[in-house]
Structure 1
Amino acid sequence: MGREFLEIFEDWAENYDNTVNGHDREYKEVFHQYDQILDEVVENSIGTVLEFGVGTGNLTKKLVEDGHTVIGIEPSPAMRDIAKMKLPDVTVLDGDFLDFPKPTTPIDTIVSTFAFHHLIDEEKELAIKNFATLLPKGGKIVFADTLFVSDTAKQRKIREAEEVGYSNLAEDLRREYYPNIDTIEQIFTEQQFNVSFKQMNDFAWLIIATFK
């Protein structure tokens, strides 16, 4: 996860749960069906889970309730503190997609929600290459994140945000590294994953990749 965005995570920590649960009108479409998105990630996870971008622990809680052992990775101290308050028995470590403590137990699934876009495409490729070394054959990566079918579609969303006065959302869409679906598909395929996509709302897609 791009550490250059750490200040944003720190500032957002206190209000993150309100935002993802639809109480911030500007980001309501981005997180539409948030609870269902988390449920889909859980349903597609197997065994012991390594979670990147734990945030305030919403997905972590659902995974634990479903019976998974979870090792969490989160770069934001403020968000780690909130997650640990919710889930005192879960390990949540300082780290990001590229720099994290290597797990000492076998990992079956790697998950993340609304975080992978903080990496540029070359970093995304490096992260997936590294993750492949942690997974057995049949191991899974299950991500939920904002994706676009094309650059044109992304620019259209930026214009729509500006037209209704959602300046923060428009700035986020410009600043962060939201990828196109074909880029993500190529990265996973080149690293020997079978990958599929499921659209969850106008912004968010579920990415389900299985290591060959």
Structure 2
Amino acid sequence: MGREFLDIFETWAQSYDSSVYGHDEQYRDVFDGYEAILNTVVEKSGNVVLEFGVGTGNLTKKLLEAGKTVYGIEPSAPMRELAMEKLEGVSIQDGDFLQFPFPKEAIDTIVSTYAFHHLTDEEKEHAIRKYGKLLTKGGKIVFADTAFIDREAYEAMIAEAKQKGFVDLAEDLQREYYTTIPILERIFTTNGFTVTFTPMNRFVWLMEAVKQ
């Protein structure tokens, strides 16, 4: 359920913000337009938000600045500490996409950026089914994450990373559970959501799903 990658999160904690803001060449395309991606998630969100994979708190900060109520979930202790420092003591709870403390009030939006790929396709479906029961009609899931049109596009991106000498990126693409748009569409629609996919850069798609 993503916790198998906690050692990676610990390694990334101190360098994550540097990477997302374009200072690591290997990941520059992955985080291209990072600010715009976060702003779009905020714009698509309702008033009471459950956020998975808070990381260092960049999206959380924007959601709070926009006047949203945010319940943050993050499995990595170092990431949680950095987020709470950035957010001046805002509480971030230990949890993951599948096991998490339930919010004290009804939520209208579930959000995440750069994290849903830490689940297998089976776990992704389990998560979306769970969120379908948590959200009321009209509630939304707004995820921004790396996904691919098909397996050929996925394999081509791995080959390109290797050709450029981007060893870390190639390893990440092969180690984590990146999936395809058709699989994600099936997962959302069979669990009671209508979903749209909007490309945000060469890697990242915005997924906006509304519960019917």
Please indicate, yes or no, whether the TM-score normalized by the shorter chain is above 0.5.
yes
Deviation at 1:87, TM superposition (A): 1.0
Partner of 1:186: 186
CA contact (8 A) 1:51 1:73 kept: yes
Q: Which runs of 4+ in 1 moved over 3 A?
A: none
CA distance in 2, matches of 1:67, 1:91: 16
Deviation at 1:132, TM superposition (A): 1.0
Partner of 1:22: 22
Instruction: Tell me the matched-pair count.
Output: 212
Unmatched runs of 5 consecutive residues or more in structure 2: none
CA distance in 1, matches of 2:150, 2:116: 18
Deviation at 1:90, TM superposition (A): 2.6
Output one character per residue of 1:59-87: Cα deviation in whole Å (capped at 9) or x when no partner. Answer: 00000011100000000000000000111
1:132 aligns with 2:122: no
Deviation at 1:89, TM superposition (A): 4.7
CA distance in 1, matches of 2:89, 2:50: 15
CA contact (8 A) 1:33 1:200 kept: yes
Partner of 1:176: 176
Partner of 1:156: 156
CA contact (8 A) 1:116 1:124 kept: yes
Deviation at 1:88, TM superposition (A): 2.9
CA distance in 1, matches of 2:111, 2:158: 27
Partner of 1:87: 87
SS at match of 1:101: coil
Partner of 1:208: 208
SS at match of 1:14: coil
What are the equivalent positions in structure 2 for 1:69-108 lying under 5 Å apart?
69-108=69-108
When the two structures are superposed, what TM-score results if normalisation uses the length of structure 2?
0.99
SS at match of 1:205: strand
SS at match of 1:142: strand
Output one character per residue of 1:5-43: Cα deviation in whole Å (capped at 9) or x when no partner. Answer: 000001100000000000000000000000000001001
SS at match of 1:49: strand
Deviation at 1:102, TM superposition (A): 1.4
SS at match of 1:90: coil
CA distance in 1, matches of 2:198, 2:178: 16
Tell me how large the CA RMSD over aligned residues is: 0.7
Matching residue's letter, 1:175:
R
CA contact (8 A) 1:72 1:90 kept: no
Unmatched runs of 5 consecutive residues or more in structure 1: none
CA distance in 2, matches of 1:180, 1:135: 25
Matching residue's letter, 1:51:
E
Partner of 1:7: 7
Partner of 1:199: 199
Output one character per residue of 1:103-152: Cα deviation in whole Å (capped at 9) or x when no partner. Answer: 12111100000000000000000000111111111000000000100100
CA distance in 1, matches of 2:50, 2:209: 14
Deviation at 1:170, TM superposition (A): 0.4
Partner of 1:59: 59
Matching residue's letter, 2:47:
G
CA contact (8 A) 1:143 1:207 kept: yes
